[in-house]
Amino acid sequence: MALHETHKYDDIIDMPHHVSRRHPQMSRHQRAAQFMPFAALTGYERVIEQAACDVEAAVARADAAGDTDFGA
């Protein structure tokens, strides 16, 4: 799929940013709170690192025991 230049939004691209008169602007803290569900991913890298360490330890134990069959 090739990218083609379009001019779909040329009529609005240079318009000023809309500011509502009815709804006050959110603070940065409130806007950030909308994305808090993604905080559930905190610690994921640590879990992956721990799993890698566990596998490396199992391989080292197998090497020390002279086992060459790693469950394959």
Q: What is the mean pLDDT of each run of 10 residues along the chain (72 residues)?
A: 84 91 92 77 86 95 79 52
Is residue 70 a contact partner of residue 59, using CB atoms and an 8 Å limit? yes
| Cα angle 42-34-39, degrees, rounded to a multiple of 5 | 5
pLDDT at 69: 63
In the structure encoding, which two tokens stand for residue 22, read together? 């009815």
pLDDT at 67: 72
